[in-house]
Amino acid sequence: MQDPRIRVFSGIILSLAAFISIPGAAAVFIWWLIFTPVRTQLKRIRLVIFMVIVIALFSLLLELTAGGGGISYFTRMMVIILIGMWMFTEYQPGDFLKLGTWLFGDRTGFELGMLADMGMQSLSQLNLDFDRIRLAVKLKGNQWSIRNLVPATLVLVHGALMRAETTAELLAIRGFTSGGSLNPEFSRTKKEVIAGVFAIVAGLITVFPVSEFFILS
Partner 1 sequence: MITIRNLRYRILAIDDLEILPGITTIIGPNGSGKTTFLKLCSGIALPDSGSIIIDGLPPRESEIGWVNEFPDRNILFETVEDEIASSLRFRRVPAQEIKAMVNACAESVGVIHLLNRPMRELSGGEKVLISLAAALVHKPKILILDECDSHLDAERGREMETVIHTMNPYYVIRCTQNVDSAILSDQVLFFENGRIVHSGTPGQVFSTLKNTPFYPMTWRVCP
Partner 2 sequence: MKISLHNIRAARQNWSLEADATFTEGLHLVSGDVGSGKSTLALLMAQQTDPLEGNIHREDIHSMMLSFQFPEYHVTGLTIADECESWGLEPDTILPSLGLNLRKDDSPLSLSRGELKRFHLTCVLAKEYDLLLLDEPFSSLDCYQKTCLRTQLETRSHGITVIFSHEQAILPRVSHIWEIETGKLIDCGTPPDALMQWHHIPKIIRNLIKSGKVPKNISPEDLEEAACRTRE
145 binds partner 1 (CB under 8 A): no
The item of partner 1, partner 2, none sharing an interface with residue 182, based on CB under 5 to 8 Å by kind, is partner 1
170 binds partner 1 (CB under 8 A): yes
Only segment of 58-66, 131-139, 143-151, 175-183 that touches partner 1 (CB under 8 A): 175-183
142 binds partner 2 (CB under 8 A): yes
148 binds partner 2 (CB under 8 A): yes
Distance CA 207, CA 68 (A): 23
* Residues 156, 159, 163, 164, Cα dihedral to 10°: 70
Could you give the string, one character per residue 113-132, with x where binding to partner 2 holds by CB under 8 A and - elsewhere? -------------------x
Residue among 57 and 162 whose Cβ is closer to partner 2: 162
Distance CA 216, CA 202 (A): 19
Size of residue set near partner 2 by CB under 8 A: 17
192 binds partner 1 (CB under 8 A): no
Q: How long is the chain?
A: 217
Only segment of 16-24, 82-90, 116-124, 204-212 that touches partner 1 (CB under 8 A): 116-124
In the list 175, 214, 216, 217, the residue contacting partner 1 (rule: CB under 8 A) is 175
In the list 64, 71, 154, 164, the residue contacting partner 2 (rule: CB under 8 A) is 154
Nearest approach, Cβ of 165 to partner 1 (angstroms)? 10
DSSP secondary structure, the chain, as one string: ---HHHHHHHHHHHHHHHHH-HHHHHHHHHHHHHHS-HHHHHTTGGGGHHHHHHHHHHHHHHHHHSSS-HHHHHHHHHHHHHHHHHHHHH--TTHHHHHHHHHHIIIIIHHHHHHHHHHHHHHHHHHHHHHHHHHHHHHTTPPP-GGGHHHHHHHHHHHHHHHHHHHHHHHHHTT-SS-----------HHHHHHHHHHHHHHHHHHS-HHHHTT--
187 binds partner 1 (CB under 8 A): no
167 binds partner 1 (CB under 8 A): yes
Name the residues that contact partner 1, by CB under 8 A: 93-94, 97, 110, 114, 117-118, 120-121, 124, 163, 166-167, 169-177, 179-183
